[in-house]
Amino acid sequence: MSERKVRVRFAPSPTGALHMGGVRTALYNYLFARKNGGDFLLRIEDTDSGRFVPGAEQYIIDSLKWCGIEVDEGVSVGGPHAPYRQSERREIYWKYAQELVEKGWAYYAFDTAEELAALRAEYESQGKTFAYNYEVREKLPTSLSLAADEVETRIARGDIWVIRFKMPENETVRMNDLVRGEVTVHTSTLDDKVLYKSADRLPTYHLANIVDDHLMEISHVIRGEEWLPSLPLHYLLYRAFGWSDTQPLFAHLPLLLKPDGKGKLSKRDGDKLGFPVFPLYWVSPTGETARGYREDGYFPEAFVNMLALLGWNPGIEQEIFSMQELIELFSIEHVGKSGSRFNPEKARWFNAQHLKRKSDRELAELFLPELQKRGVEAPLDKVERICGLIKDRATFVSDFWDLSSYFFAAPQEYEEKAVRKFWKGENPARVAHIAELLECTEPFDVRRAEQTVHDWIVSESLPMGQVMNSLRLAVVGRSMGPGMFDIIELIGREETLRRIRHALTVIKIPE
Ligand code: GLU
């Protein structure tokens, strides 16, 4: 079995926007597949017709695409095991449901929802909890208690029925999980789960999932921890079908927790604390919306990097990784057992780190449309240089305008605190003198301008910080920003002089 080709699947149900926890599951599957030269499948598990949400499947496809998670086989791309949408595989499941009944691993149950609710209430009134299991299955109207011809009659006349799994009595199920190690569960704690429903002629998740993982030759099931309680049933289903020898290996991923560590991360936490929990902006069919990482200005690389480290550790100090690096390092052994706390601050930090690593040209291309929107025309190579100067101070491209507007337009106002601190005594006159120096600096570039101004300040024994900050205030309007002479060269001699002269006439010396 170790020789087996690695084939993993992401099998979401299209019940709404794909939560970032779901994206992380997809990502770990993808990294594992790529690391091991295997295939990554996308299967849509849409057999719960009551929870189907139009648009959710496309949202899942778009989200994976945005993250750079490439699907080898699945709904979006096809493949040898098509169809990959479970609602299109009805006949397949019906055949296997019947097989289980024939082999004695499953049975028909005819009780109605009302009868079951009444039974539940009766148990509760006696202080007991009702479970559909070995104790009751032969007392209720099932194919185990009714005569064969009665069963046939009921089916033929169109009574509602379900097929339930016949959970073996008094057995310990031993399972292996790649994250948690050996897990054992006694069957007395398990009930007879529904596998198939006559009402919509569809299987439930458990049956469809096992049948498809088998037929699609899945080697490893990597999924969220919430599916661990289903694992004993899944083991037993493989055994019932006679597929135990080729059943996949299982890895259940730890939960993504709220920032305070108390409970599962939910959309409401995002709304409350102001961060997205979905990869893309989402509008539900009823008009509800949810913000997305993409629209909030995150780079997919940063989102993926952050998600990868929420539950897995690379075993080294490094924190910033490209998808390719993640693929090379990924292993299930380094997936943690305990839940991972999501930290929105850290998410922003990842974005800032990835932003810094982008080339100035790439950032300029992202910034240009924003400039155009503001009616600013600037050549790409100038914008490129500006991006290079400001990118260390930005978290998102949307921060660029605030950090760089003075490159494109003279300041409209002057930071009050800086005026009070620097625009006093001899400083305005000194700035006026610098303007004179710059007027005849040749060539007018960073190096020459810097040298000229510095030499003068030093030769006159002037306070460097005071003078330079006054100059910055006059040209930029504030006391922070990248290198002063980079700014001066970029805006040019004429504009520099114009700004200084303007500042000299409008900034009032505070009393
Ligand atoms: N359809 C299930 C879900 O929505 C898949 C669970 C599994 O991977 O087995 O998460």
Coil, helix or strand at residue 167: coil
* Rounded Cα gap, residues 132 and 193, in angstroms: 8
Taking the centre of ligand 1 as the mean of its atom positions, its distance from the CA of residue 222, in whole angstroms, is 9
Residue bearing tokens 């055949």: 95
Mutate to test the pocket of ligand 1, among 51, 205, 231, 238 (most ligand atoms within 8 A of CB): 205
For the Cβ of 45 lying below 6 angstroms from any atom of ligand 1, the answer is yes
For residue 274, the 8-state DSSP code is T
Whether the CB-CB separation of 409 and 499 falls below 8 Å is answered with: no
CA angle 166, 168, 169 (to 5 degrees): 125
For residue 508, the 8-state DSSP code is P
* Rounded Cα gap, residues 255 and 240, in angstroms: 30
The atom of ligand 1 lying closest to the CA of 10 is 8
For the Cβ of 21 lying below 6 angstroms from any atom of ligand 1, the answer is no
Buried b (16+ CB within 10 A) or exposed e, 197-229: beeeebbbbbbbbbbbbbebebbbbbbbbebbe
For the Cβ of 234 lying below 6 angstroms from any atom of ligand 1, the answer is no
* Rounded Cα gap, residues 445 and 456, in angstroms: 17
Sign of CA dihedral 279, 285, 287, 288: negative
The atom of ligand 1 lying closest to the CA of 25 is 8
The atom of ligand 1 lying closest to the CA of 45 is 1
Taking the centre of ligand 1 as the mean of its atom positions, its distance from the CA of residue 223, in whole angstroms, is 7
pLDDT at 2: 53
- Cross-sheet strand order for the sheet of 202-203: 106-109, 162-165, 194-197, 202-203
Whether the CB-CB separation of 312 and 179 falls below 8 Å is answered with: no
* Rounded Cα gap, residues 421 and 418, in angstroms: 5
| Distance (Å) of CA 427 to CA 99, 171, 440, 467, 495 | 92, 88, 21, 6, 20
Whether the CB-CB separation of 47 and 88 falls below 8 Å is answered with: no
159 sits in which H/E element: none
pLDDT at 325: 98
For the Cβ of 44 lying below 6 angstroms from any atom of ligand 1, the answer is no
Write out the catalytic residue numbers: 267
Q: Residues, the chain, total?
A: 511
Side chain identity, residue 88: E
pLDDT at 49: 85
For the Cβ of 252 lying below 6 angstroms from any atom of ligand 1, the answer is no
For residue 85, the 8-state DSSP code is B
The atom of ligand 1 lying closest to the CA of 213 is 9
Q: To 10 degrees, what angle do helices 427-439 and 464-476 make?
A: 70
* Rounded Cα gap, residues 216 and 221, in angstroms: 12
For the Cβ of 227 lying below 6 angstroms from any atom of ligand 1, the answer is yes
Peptide bond into 83 cis (omega under 30): yes
Taking the centre of ligand 1 as the mean of its atom positions, its distance from the CA of residue 87, in whole angstroms, is 15
Give the pLDDT of the chain (511 residues) as one tens digit per residue.
Answer: 457 999 999 999 999 999 999 999 999 999 999 999 999 999 999 999 889 999 999 999 999 999 999 999 999 899 999 999 999 999 999 999 999 999 999 999 999 989 999 999 999 999 999 999 999 999 999 999 999 999 999 999 999 999 999 999 999 999 999 999 999 999 999 999 999 999 999 999 999 999 999 999 999 999 999 999 999 999 999 999 999 999 999 999 999 999 999 999 988 888 888 899 999 999 999 999 999 999 999 999 999 999 999 999 999 999 999 999 999 999 999 999 999 999 999 999 999 999 999 999 999 999 999 999 999 999 999 999 999 999 999 999 999 999 999 999 999 999 999 999 999 999 999 999 999 999 999 999 999 999 999 999 999 999 999 999 999 999 999 998 999 999 999 999 999 999 999 999 999 877 7
Whether the CB-CB separation of 279 and 292 falls below 8 Å is answered with: yes
pLDDT at 146: 97
